[in-house]
Amino acid sequence: MGMYTTTRRRRSSGLSGRLLLALVLVAFAVGSYYMGTSRVENPVTGEVQRVSLTPEQEIAMGLQAVSEMARQYGGLYQDQQLQNLVDQVGDKVVIRSEAARTPYEYDFHLLADRQTVNAFALPGGQIFITYALLERLATEGELAGVLSHEVGHVVARHSAERIAKSKLTEGLTNAAVIATYDPGSMTGVESARMAQLIGSLVNMKYSRSDELEADYLGVRFMAEAGYDPRSLIKVMQILAESGGGGQPEFMSTHPSPNNRVGQIEKAIEAEFPNGVPDNLQP
């Protein structure tokens, strides 16, 4: 009986110690987040954001990563005519839209990858589209839709927000792991794994929110540049046909293209309550 009581006290003491350490880690993570970030109002979206990078740092970070990102996708596509098309449409989107009011240095890159249907943006304005996606687009307006969406990510400072938030999430997840982990219990191991999964799902949800905001901004930017925003709906259909809608939405870092169509239609209706003008380029 005495041995059982001693063991129980030791376990209780160990649990108390872990909880105390977890609370310290939580306090440190939250304190670091608020002390290491700044509250700034985005001049285009009007959103008050917490970021840890200046626009100049975002630009530098993006420029440093250009070569590595190109290497991962087989380098740049060696067709100057197609690259000129991407530059022409991308520059039109930036110059004629609210993106021109931002401090970022936009540059558009056509990647040689013929298998991966993708487009993405680095912090500060470096934007990429794979040849595999470009060759599936039928009109200049569809290309404008893709590039406008990526410009939206840059303008909304999604990368800067994600960098700041990921540090907070990592700290809170570590605290949860320490608080629940019991080396002598499989239940503790499973709880620790669950805490890590929750942490990753927090960031996934944030990323899906980014995608929807970038769709909304993409509608605005491409319309301001003279393109019919309904072309972005066609892009979603292309992505769905290419397998973009194959995974369940909840466990994907991007909403499924089919589910994004409804949000894009709402954005178009909000932008043009009296209907899309006939003079916009498809």
Catalytic site residues?
A: 150
Q: Would you tell me how many other CB atoms lie within 10 Å of the CB of residue 164?
A: 19
State whether residue 27 is helix, strand or coil: helix
State whether residue 238 is helix, strand or coil: helix
- Closest by CA to 77, choosing from 133, 122, 126, is 133
Residue 274 main-chain phi, psi, to 5 deg? -100, 10
| DSSP label of 250 | G
* Segment holding 38, helix H or strand E: strand 38-41
Q: Where are any strands of DSSP class E within 174-240?
A: none
CB 169 within 8 A of CB 203: yes
Residues forming beta bridges with residue 50, ordered by sequence position? 39
Residues forming beta bridges with residue 121, ordered by sequence position? 127
- Closest by CA to 267, choosing from 233, 236, 227, is 233
